[in-house]
Amino acid sequence: MSLLDSPLEIRERSIQFSMETEFCEFSPELEDHFEIFEHIRGFNVTIVTSANTQDETLLLWSGFLQKDEGETQ
């Protein structure tokens, strides 16, 4: 399962999704303190944007959902 497989909800000004702790590599700040998360199976994330509409929020999120070059499945 990848981060892209996580269910997400895009609202007018925010994006909400759940992450498993294996995705702590997503953020070096979290990875450096993984011991905090070692007994947690997952957590919820809310990203608040400056978008004014759901379409603008989707546009911001679409860049994040792009796969890295060379990534294989």
Q: What is the pLDDT of residues 18-57, one digit of tens each?
A: 766 666 566 677 667 767 767 777 777 787 888 888 888 8
Asked if 17 and 9 touch (Cβ cutoff 8 Å), the reply is: yes
What is the residue extent of each domain of the chain? 3-64
* Residue 32: partners with Cβ closer than 8 Å, 6 or more residues away: none
CA distance 38 to 53: 37
Question: pLDDT higher for 9 or 27?
Answer: 9
Burial class (CB in 10 A: 0-12, 13-18, 19+), 37: middle
> In 1-73, where does DSSP find H-type helix?
28-31, 54-64
At 6 the pLDDT is 64
